Homo-oligomer: A and B are copies of this chain.
Amino acid sequence: MNVQVAKKPLAEALQTVERIVPNRSANPGVNLVHVGALGDGLRFSGTSLDIDIETTVAADVRGDGALALPAHVLGQVVRALPADVVSIDVEGSEMAISSGSFSTRLQIVDPSSAPKVSFPSEYRSTLSAGAFVKALDHVRYAAAVADYQAIFRGVKLEFHDGTGRAVATDGFRLAYRDFGDAGGLTGEMIVPARSVEEIVKAFGGSNVDVEPGEGRLSLQREGVRLNVKLMDGAFPDYRRVVPQTFPVQITLAADELRDAVARVAVMADKTANNRVDLFVKEGTLQITAEGSYGRSQESIDVRQEGSESEIALAYNAKYLMDALSPLQDQLRASFSGSTSPSVLEDPADAAYLAMVVPLRTG
């Protein structure tokens, strides 16, 4: 195999693979990238065992070949190359890479020593650029992180009646975001939150072709394919925990609340749930926090509605900040009670909903 290829796209294709393939692994061969010749390019593939990755790059390729190499070594060599064009020659047990006055000979590894990675031959659905990835990105903070939290560590994808939704919850908070067109898909699946992060990074801003498979979801765009392993288990019925009646509702700029909570929370006691207190009355939202260093407070004018004239609540400041993070414009905060869930939404865009359970106080 003899290849001429531009350095920049080659380096990018390898960097995408290196995001998934570990530099070191207890499992033999998992640190390797498969390199294969296509008619008009090179294909790189590898796996973290939870996620399979394949990238392709256009290249002038003569001859055939399939081999494996430590992914991070190959990536490091390519990134450091001095010239814009790279020549690759595979001879015997070595891959020779030369560029400008630099050359290197890398030891090839038998590709059968790396885990086999395969991708669907067909991707039957396409999800629209932005909306799908944005939905994943906006809800993933609400997924649990601790091992024992099992299925709560996943993000659920629902495809019903032609529309899609991403949902995550850890039992104390919940977020969902609808992404409109379901691309003809139906049914449900649960993607590990850590894999969701990789999907967001690999597919931000692109249309995504998807193909559900046995225990996995496959995704592709021009030049990049991913398989992510799905989670087994039943996701809780989150709909029934979202309250429907709210004695107090307020509307204000999302930014204003975010900034005020960030300022006041400096005083919050990190060992006591990072607590901030909210008090709504007569069109004023007062935010306070108290800890061993002192006490902070800030007031914001809000539009207040509802059957009750006031309400007092406490939250974990981090949970409140996370829930606010996807909201850019107006925010409607709907309080069902001092100890029952609160709902945060953009009144002009029903796609995103965040729910936060207040702290039990006093």
Q: Are A102 and B260 in contact (CB under 8 A)?
A: yes
Closest CB in chain B relative to A7 CB, distance in Å? 12
A148 in the interface, Cβ–Cβ < 8 Å? no
Interface locus among A159-167, A169-177, A271-279, A288-296: A288-296
Contact, CB under 8 Å: B296 / A102: yes
Q: Is A73 an interface residue (CB 8 A)?
A: yes
- In Å, the complex CA distance between A124 and B34 comes to 67
The residue in chain B whose Cβ has the minimal distance to the Cβ of A94 is B294
Known: A82-B259, A259-B82. A297 touches B264 (CB 8 A): no
Contact of A80 among B77, B80, B266, B293 (CB under 8 A): B266
A294 to B70, CA, bound (A): 11
Which residue of B is nearest A301, CB measured? B101
B294 and A106 contacting across the interface, CB-CB below 8 Å: yes
B107 touches A293 (CB 8 A): yes
Contact indicator A298/B102 (Cβ below 8 Å): yes
Instruction: Report the separation of the CA atoms of residues A326 and B120 in the bound assembly, to the nearest whole angstrom.
Output: 53
A191 to B300, CA, bound (A): 51
A260 to chain B, nearest CB (A): 7
- Copies of the polypeptide in the assembly: 2
Measured in the bound complex, the distance between the Cα atoms of B80 and A260 in whole Å is 9
Let me know if A105 is at the binding interface, CB within 8 A: yes
Please provide the chain A residues from 287 to 343 with a CB less than 8 Å away from any CB of chain B in the complex. 292-300
A262 contacts the other chain (CB 8 A): yes
Q: A81-B263, A263-B80, A267-B104 are in contact. Are A73 and B300 (CB under 8 A)?
A: no
A241-270 CB contacts (< 8 Å) to partner B = 259-260, 262-264, 266-267
Closest to A100 in B: B298
Answer yes or no: A25 CB below 8 A from chain B CBs: no
- The 12 listed contacts between A and B (C-beta, < 8 Å) are A73-B293, A73-B294, A77-B266, A77-B267, A82-B260, A100-B298, A102-B296, A102-B298, A103-B298, A104-B294, A105-B294, A105-B296
Q: Give 17 A-B pairs besides A73-B293, A82-B259, A103-B296 with Cβ atoms closer than 8 angstroms.
A: A70-B293, A77-B266, A77-B267, A80-B266, A81-B263, A82-B263, A82-B298, A101-B299, A101-B300, A102-B297, A103-B297, A103-B298, A104-B295, A104-B297, A105-B295, A105-B296, A106-B294
